[in-house]
């Protein structure tokens, strides 16, 4: 008889899970029916807000809905008490990139000082914010920077990327253009610039669609040319 309470508890948990599963399925069905342009709900999760559920589509896009999936909410959810942006935290987790998966052989790499702190930057040669960030980054020491060239902003971005990649000194050609505005020499016809194409494929796969996008060793990412003070804070927050 002493096992009956445990069996009852297990049965209750199973029943709750079944109800939750049925509710998730109903939410998914309703959203998929009324909003096929979202291309299918991949996951339904409870939020800390009673009656509000998170839905995930297209791998990392987050929306919110009610318990029946009859309304759609687009925006950010903040935990005011704990001063947390729950939506951003969730998106950061979903879009995190494993540092070891970065194809660093296809990057232009700079090392300053001991190079202990590591940063990957996805940048377009026609991106003004990328140029500003590159200038500011020259002042940061003890850092290794992997620059992944992508061409997404202008028709000649790919031409400039190829010319820089094919230069005798890739790093200098990149800095000359980004910092000084010195036009890179035209690339030789036989030069293999397929690394840039692979970078663009990697960016697309990982939903890197703005420049500059910064990736850190812990998998986190930041979009935009952040101030160097913020960059230092990001480095300090990474747990080794």
Q: For 203-239, write each residue's pLDDT tens digit.
A: 999 989 899 999 999 988 898 999 999 999 999 988 7
Q: Are 138 and 187 in a shared domain?
A: yes
CB 54 within 8 A of CB 19: no
Q: Are 215 and 113 in a shared domain?
A: yes
What would the two tokens of residue 50 be? 């009673």
Q: Say how many domains are in the chain.
A: 2
Q: Are 30 and 80 in a shared domain?
A: yes
Please enumerate in sequence order all residues whose Cβ is within 8 A of that of 195, keeping only pairs 6 or more positions apart, or say none.
105, 106, 149, 165
Q: Are 39 and 55 in a shared domain?
A: yes
Give the distance from CA 22 to its chain's centroid.
Answer: 32
Whole-number Å distance between alpha carbons of 46 and 63:
12
CATH number at residue 8: 3.10.450.70
Backbone angles phi, psi at 62, to 5 degrees: -115, 130
What would the two tokens of residue 186 be? 């035209």
Which of 63, 95, 127 terminates a domain? The answer is 95
Antiparallel, parallel or unpaired: β 72-73 and 61-65: antiparallel
Q: Are 195 and 105 in a shared domain?
A: yes
CB 62 within 8 A of CB 91: yes
Chunked into runs of 10 residues, the chain (240 residues) has average pLDDT values of 51 50 88 91 93 91 94 95 92 88 97 96 97 96 97 94 94 96 83 95 92 94 93 87
CB 123 within 8 A of CB 212: yes
Q: Are 87 and 108 in a shared domain?
A: no
CB 210 within 8 A of CB 217: no
Q: Are 49 and 104 in a shared domain?
A: no
> What residue has token string 């069905």?
29
Q: Are 145 and 66 in a shared domain?
A: no
Whole-number Å distance between alpha carbons of 173 and 29:
53
Q: How high is the pLDDT of residue 2?
A: 52
pTM here is 0.76
Q: How high is the pLDDT of residue 94?
A: 87
CATH number at residue 124: 3.40.30.10
Q: How high is the pLDDT of residue 20?
A: 57
State whether the Cα torsion 164-167-169-172 is positive or negative: negative
Q: Which residues of 8-42 are buried (b: 16+ CB within 10 A; e: fewer)?
A: eeeeeeeeeeeeeeebbeebbebbbeebeebeebe
Q: Are 83 and 108 in a shared domain?
A: no
Q: Are 39 and 90 in a shared domain?
A: yes
Q: Are 117 and 75 in a shared domain?
A: no
Enclosing domain of residue 181: 99-237
**How many beta carbons lie within 10 A of that of residue 103, not counting itself?**
13
Q: Is 218 helix (H, G, I), strand (E, B) or coil?
A: coil
Does residue 212 have a cis peptide bond before it, meaning omega lies within 30 degrees of 0?
yes
Q: Are 126 and 84 in a shared domain?
A: no
Which of 95, 119, 144 terminates a domain? The answer is 95
Which of 52, 69, 95 terminates a domain? The answer is 95
């Amino acid at each position: 008889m002493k096992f009956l309470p445990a069996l009852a508890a297990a049965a209750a948990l199973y029943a709750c899970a079944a109800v939750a599963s049925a509710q998730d399925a109903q939410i998914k069905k309703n959203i998929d029916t009324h909003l096929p342009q979202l291309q299918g709900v991949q996951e339904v999760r409870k939020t800390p807000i009673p009656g509000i559920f998170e839905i995930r589509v297209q791998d990392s896009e987050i929306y919110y809905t009610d318990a029946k999936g009859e309304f759609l909410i687009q925006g950010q959810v903040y935990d005011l008490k704990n001063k947390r942006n729950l939506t951003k935290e969730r998106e950061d987790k979903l879009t995190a990139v494993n540092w070891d998966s970065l194809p660093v052989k296809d990057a232009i790499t700079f090392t300053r000082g001991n190079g202990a702190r590591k940063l990957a930057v996805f940048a377009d040669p026609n991106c003004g914010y990328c140029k500003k960030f590159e200038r500011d980054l020259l002042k940061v020491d003890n850092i290794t920077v992997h620059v992944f060239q992508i061409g997404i902003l202008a028709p000649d971005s790919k031409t400039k990327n190829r010319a820089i990649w094919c230069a005798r000194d890739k790093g200098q050609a990149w800095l000359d253009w980004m910092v000084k505005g010195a036009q890179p020499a035209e690339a030789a016809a036989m030069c293999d610039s397929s690394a840039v194409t692979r970078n663009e494929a990697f960016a697309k796969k990982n939903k890197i669609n703005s420049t500059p996008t910064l990736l850190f060793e812990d998998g986190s990412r930041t979009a935009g040319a952040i101030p160097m003070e913020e960059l230092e804070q990001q480095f300090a927050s990474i747990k080794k």
